[in-house]
Amino acid sequence: MKVPELLCPAGNRESLEAALHFGADAVYGGMKHYGLRAYAGNFDGEELRAAIGRTHECGARFYVTMNIFPFDDEMEGFVDAARKARDAGADAVIVSDPGAIRRLRRELPELPVHVSTQANTVNTDAAKMYRDMGCERVILAREMSLERIARMKEAVGDSIQLETFVHGASCMAYSGRCMLSAYLTGRSGNRGECAQPCRWQYAVMEEKRPGVYLPVEEDERGTYLFSARDLCLMPILPELADAGVSSLKIEGRMKTEYYVAVVTGAYRRALDLLAQGREAFAQALPELTEELKCASHRDSDTGFLLGKPEEPGGAEGFHQEREFCARVTGYDAETGEAQLLLKNRFFAGEELELMTPAGVRKVTAKPFLREKTGEIMETLGIAGETIRMELPGCEAGDILRGPVRNHRR
């Protein structure tokens, strides 16, 4: 079976490294301007060049997000930024606005363009229009069903690639074109500044009965009328591959490196098993589905891929079954000692898990050396400290995780 590209978020350098270490075929990240995640870490000019260089070192591709809708007075700066992305070695830019696409194809014809999901492409004529404009790929609207994707692929053949989101947060608005944040906070989602008011709690009140809130369905966490569930298409990866999708995209440029590592690792293993055959994938699916729960997530569904999504509500509460304890930053094969950057407290003697690109295995925490003081310790609760601990068979980039706990001890 032909396996699609695995495309993962790189909101900052740490997430980039996590995505590359755990098996991304490509990553996407933004510059300081012109992307729809203004509050991600993003990359300035030199950082972008370094990030793209690092990505290419690992044999992966880097796509630069430029999916803001630019006004006339911003277009020159937009084109100049795209030129810098090209010069830094970007493999493509992701663009939403048809005028911006037209301008880039005219002025930078050698720079591949991917059409953002914000362009809400839902029909074959639109895909062919972007193909005729010279675009290499269309990132389909999240409202597309699996059946419609397959029909579109049959119609366009190999003349343009199709990409779809497979995992992460979903917006309640049509293809993410929402004005709620701009109206309530002055921060426009279409300008990369969404305050996510769809995740807030709301109540229903009748005009002539101020202060009297009408009952609506809620769960133990509150009432979330507009909050969509997360997307998780792990169970239908074989069907997506059969439909001819070229790239599977994980949402999450605002998420942590731990989230990126968990989700990238799970989908990488899933796709590698799928390449071996459906039976190998099916056998591992329960374990891989459980693995996805180890990162912070909301309740999930399959979006529009198999029909109508589940009704919104109760989707704000986050769940997480494992906690990021430390990242391996170095390893001495002779001594079996790892250098670790501490993230959260753990205790000597505690059973933990080591995340590697090959999978997850159980390990027992040992007393460790605190580099700052030279002390041998059994626990430490200061994030950012460097420690050394016996941890055979690991490598830089692996992640140590443990049970979720409160941090009052």
**What confidence tens digit (pLDDT) does each residue in 32-91 have?**
888 666 566 678 889 999 999 999 999 999 999 999 889 999 999 999 999 999 999 999
At 409 the pLDDT is 40
Sequence ranges of the domains in the chain: 5-171+230-299, 323-402
Residue 200 has pLDDT above 50, yes or no: yes
Query: Class of the 5-171+230-299 domain?
Result: alpha beta
How would CATH label the architecture of 323-402?
Beta Barrel (2.40)
373-406 per-position pLDDT tens digit? 999 999 999 999 999 999 999 999 999 999 998 6
Tokens coding 290 = 């459980």
Q: What average pLDDT does the segment 258-285 reach?
A: 97
Helix (H) or strand (E) holding 219: none
At 293 the pLDDT is 93
208-255 per-position pLDDT tens digit? 778 776 555 555 555 455 667 789 999 999 999 999 999 999 999 989
Distance from C-alpha of 365 to C-alpha of 389, rounded to nearest angstrom? 8
Distance from C-alpha of 182 to C-alpha of 196, rounded to nearest angstrom? 10
At 284 the pLDDT is 97
At 210 the pLDDT is 81
- pTM of the model as a whole: 0.87
At 175 the pLDDT is 60
Residue 135 has pLDDT above 50, yes or no: yes
- In 158-284 the beta strands, taken as DSSP E runs, fall at 161-168, 204-205, 213-214, 230-232, 247-250
